[in-house]
């Protein structure tokens, strides 16, 4: 999520001042799982099956589900691993875990090019804190509770005529309805009733360290592991992907940062993340690695506007940009920070306004590491080094396509012969209530169904109107028809490059499966805290 513009982030500010800032840096999706899949592989998530056709499950929602980043997808970690780099992931993964059995870990980071993993195989949701309102499928859960109560009333109501001697109701009928109500309750409560225990776990490589995780300690443990990784491999080439849990609801923040920011708890969480960034940069300085290390800072999507307590926003701020997380094409959901720092290579303080993508990190790291890009698949990212170094002045991206799940909502055209960036919206979400800036009624916007289709499409000149406040039309823009035709031709060409792949977000793949559920102990009695055992031993 995008942090608000504050001056209390000295370390991120330092990164920006000492590096190159990309002001039109774009994620390939406006929610975590598909965005991260594109980031890791350099490919639109629809190419790997990591895009959903359903509004309910647009991200992976269970660790015990069978979907994830396919084994035949090659991540940038794999490319660098093959070039002799030691690779590590500290933090959030959210790309799936197992395929067919609890321990196969086919989607695990260790099977996607990382030598070391410490963190959350899932991610951070409000369900991870017992004091917070459940977040996962909240409205579905309410409906399930109501259905359970209704079903439970049936056998009770059948007792009335029996005991009132109005008419005979066989006990067999009453007990059958009671059993049906009980089985219905168990069928959904066995997953949703234990979300924190099933999803909120901490792992080191293939081993579960905490189940459920102790959320108040996780940030400190992740930072400790990140610094230890640098210390272990400081004398050899290494890739360290630090995937912060910040700044994501439920905004778990150390006590010393609470109340520190004038932007409330969200600002406190941003400042804690900035402090963690500072500790990593400090370690690079102390080990004299800064001049030889490329540091990249970004986010996987924009802030989620719908998350708030009263009038206080907890989901983030997207500044002048319209929309937010979960909205397929609006700028607020996909325009993210982009900072590259490499003191001996890149010019400090440089600002680039060209359209760039998180998918670009894949070919960029391949180029830096001396790797060879796979030739058997389409790579949508572009090597950024010529642009970052100033050897070229324009991004290689002429067109970028913005999906919401599997549905193409928006496309962007960066004219090669000028600085104009056109953006066309074919589909936009319906904000609720009317006149709002987000989907407060449902909690997150839909990709299909409750959306608005535009024919002719909405057209914006993003280079002059980044807030997408002034839609163009044939009456006020002479190039309207030619721009729309150009983009439609590019979309047709793009769609020709898509091939059918297994859908990782199919109904079956997204269901919670007890036999795939990671468990520390004997299922279903799962639970442990091995980090606490280590601390006790140390004492």
Beta strands in 28-179 (DSSP E): 86-92, 116-120
Helix (H) or strand (E) holding 208: strand 207-211
Catalytic-role residue among 32, 200, 439, 526: 32
Domain limits, the chain: 15-124+200-516, 138-194
Cβ atoms 96, 504 nearer than 8 A: yes
Torsion of CA 390, 331, 128, 192, to 10 degrees: -130
pLDDT digits (tens, 9 = 90+) for 88-146: 999 999 999 999 999 999 999 999 999 999 999 999 999 998 888 888 998 899 999 99
| pTM listed for this prediction | 0.94
Catalytic-role residue among 94, 112, 414, 425: 94
Ranking 13-17, 420-424, 457-461, 531-535 by mean pLDDT, the lowest is: 531-535
CA distance 91 to 60: 16
Q: Give the list of residues 6+ apart from residue 111 with CB closer than 8 angstroms, or none.
A: 71, 105
Q: Kindly indicate the confidence band of residue 340, based on its pLDDT and cuts at 50, 70 and 90.
A: very high
Taking alpha carbons only, the member of 452, 465, 438, 461 closest to residue 318 is: 438
CA distance 284 to 297: 15
Average pLDDT, the chain: 94
Class of the domain covering 15-124+200-516: alpha beta
CA distance 323 to 27: 14
Residue 106, Cβ density class (10 Å: 0-12 exposed, 13-18 middle, ≥19 buried): middle
The stretch 387-416 carries a mean pLDDT of 97
pLDDT digits (tens, 9 = 90+) for 31-68: 999 999 999 999 999 999 999 999 999 999 999 999 99
CA distance 521 to 308: 37
Between the alpha carbon of residue 457 and those of residues 411, 423, 475, 480, the distances in Å are 10, 10, 14, 10
Helix (H) or strand (E) holding 309: strand 308-309
Q: Kindly indicate the confidence band of residue 534, based on its pLDDT and cuts at 50, 70 and 90.
A: low
CA distance 20 to 23: 10
Place of tokens 């983030």: 316
Q: Kindly indicate the confidence band of residue 4, based on its pLDDT and cuts at 50, 70 and 90.
A: very low
**314's tokens:** 């907890």
* Catalytic status, residue 94: yes
Helix (H) or strand (E) holding 336: strand 335-336
pLDDT at residue number 165: 79
CA distance 422 to 415: 8
Place of tokens 């960036």: 421
Apex CA 513: angle with CA 524 and CA 208, to 5°?
A: 55
Ranking 1-5, 171-175, 439-443 by mean pLDDT, the lowest is: 1-5
Q: Kindly indicate the confidence band of residue 166, based on its pLDDT and cuts at 50, 70 and 90.
A: confident
Neighbours of 316 (CB within 10 A): 26
């Amino acid at each position: 999520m995008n942090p608000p513009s504050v001056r209390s982030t000295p370390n991120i500010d330092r990164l920006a001042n000492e590096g190159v800032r990309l002001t039109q840096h774009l994620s390939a999706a406006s929610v975590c799982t598909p965005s991260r899949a594109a980031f890791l592989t350099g490919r639109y998530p629809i190419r790997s099956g990591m895009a959903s056709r359903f509004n309910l499950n647009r991200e992976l929602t269970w660790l015990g589900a069978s979907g994830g980043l396919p084994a035949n997808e090659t991540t940038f970690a794999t490319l660098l691993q093959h070039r002799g780099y030691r690779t590590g992931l500290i933090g959030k993964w959210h790309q799936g875990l197992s395929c067919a059995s609890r321990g196969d870990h086919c989607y695990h980071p260790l099977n996607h090019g990382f030598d070391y993993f410490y963190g959350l195989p899932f991610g951070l949701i409000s369900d991870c804190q017992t004091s917070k309102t459940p977040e996962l499928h909240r409205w579905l859960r309410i409906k399930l509770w109501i259905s359970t109560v209704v079903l439970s009333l049936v056998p009770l109501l059948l007792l009335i005529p029996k005991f009132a001697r109005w008419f005979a109701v066989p006990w067999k009928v009453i007990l059958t309805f009671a059993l049906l109500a009980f089985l219905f309750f168990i069928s959904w409560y066995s997953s949703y009733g234990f979300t924190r225990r099933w999803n909120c776990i901490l792992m080191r490589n293939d081993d579960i360290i905490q189940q459920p995780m102790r959320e108040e300690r996780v940030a400190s443990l992740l930072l400790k592991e990140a610094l230890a990784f640098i210390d272990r491999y400081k004398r050899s080439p290494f890739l360290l992907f630090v995937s912060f849990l910040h700044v994501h609801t439920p905004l778990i923040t150390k006590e010393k940062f609470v109340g520190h920011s004038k932007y409330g708890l969200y600002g406190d969480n941003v400042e804690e993340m900035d402090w963690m960034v500072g500790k990593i940069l400090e370690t690079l300085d102390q080990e004299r690695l800064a001049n030889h290390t490329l540091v990249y800072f970004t986010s996987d999507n924009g802030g989620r506007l719908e998350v708030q307590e009263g009038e206080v926003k907890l989901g983030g701020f997207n500044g002048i940009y319209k929309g937010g997380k979960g909205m397929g094409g609006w700028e607020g959901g996909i325009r993210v920070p982009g900072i590259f720092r490499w003191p001996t290579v890149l010019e400090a303080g440089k600002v680039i306004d060209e359209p760039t993508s998180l998918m670009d990190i894949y070919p960029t790291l391949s180029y830096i590491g001396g790797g060879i890009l796979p030739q058997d698949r389409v790579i949508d990212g572009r090597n950024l080094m010529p642009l970052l170094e100033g050897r070229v002045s324009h991004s290689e991206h002429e067109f970028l396509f913005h999906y919401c799940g599997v549905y193409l909502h928006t496309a962007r055209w960066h004219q090669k012969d000028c600085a104009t960036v056109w953006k066309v919206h074919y589909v936009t979400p319906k904000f609720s209530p009317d006149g709002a800036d987000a989907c407060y009624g449902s909690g997150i916007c839909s990709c299909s169904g409750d959306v608005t289709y535009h024919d002719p499409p909405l057209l914006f000149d993003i280079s002059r109107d980044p807030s997408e406040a002034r839609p163009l039309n044939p009456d006020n823009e002479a190039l309207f028809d030619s721009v729309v035709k150009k983009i439609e031709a590019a979309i047709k060409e793009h769609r020709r490059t898509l091939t059918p792949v297994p859908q990782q977000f199919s109904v079956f793949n997204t269901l919670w499966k007890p036999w795939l559920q990671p468990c520390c102990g004997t299922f279903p009695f799962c639970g442990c805290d091995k980090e606490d055992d280590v601390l006790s031993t140390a004492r």
